Amino acid sequence: MSVTAPAGFTCTTPAVGATGTVTCTSASMAPGTAAFLLRVAVGNGPLGTTISNTASVTATTTDPDGADTSSSAVVIVAADTAGIPSLSEWGLFALMASLLAFGALRLKG
């Protein structure tokens, strides 16, 4: 897990492989000025696993609109559709034999 925060923020994240809370703090923040990028890597969990993220802000001063201090997003783990194609051992052997035969014919002709 990693987080990229705007200048002036200090962030802590859970240990690699652990779940937990990401906390970022700053001495001050103007309204609407902070954007964060949070990256997580999903292990070999089952398809359909739900990952949820909730971001909340608090302040030492009074917030005139307390209704906009939290937001959530949910992602469902899907299958990897961009996997690398592979062949069995026999398939690789057949491919190698075909390439050798083709190469030999090209050298003869």
Model confidence at 109: pLDDT above 70: no
Q: What is the mean pLDDT of residues 2-10?
A: 88
Q: Quick one: pLDDT band at residue 11, thresholds 50, 70, 90? A: very high
Q: State the Cα–Cα distance between residues 76 and 71, nearest whole angstrom.
A: 17
Q: Using DSSP bridges, classify how beta strands 50-56 and 37-39 pair: parallel, antiparallel or unpaired.
A: unpaired
Model confidence at 84: pLDDT above 70: no
DSSP conformational letter for 61: S
Q: What is the mean pLDDT of residues 69-95?
A: 79
| Matching residue, tokens 């990229």 | 4
Q: Quick one: pLDDT band at residue 91, thresholds 50, 70, 90? A: confident
- The reported pLDDT for the residue numbered 90 is 86
- The reported pLDDT for the residue numbered 80 is 65
| Matching residue, tokens 């690398």 | 84
- pLDDT per residue over 12-64, tens digit each? 998 887 888 899 998 888 777 788 888 887 776 677 888 888 888 888 888 78
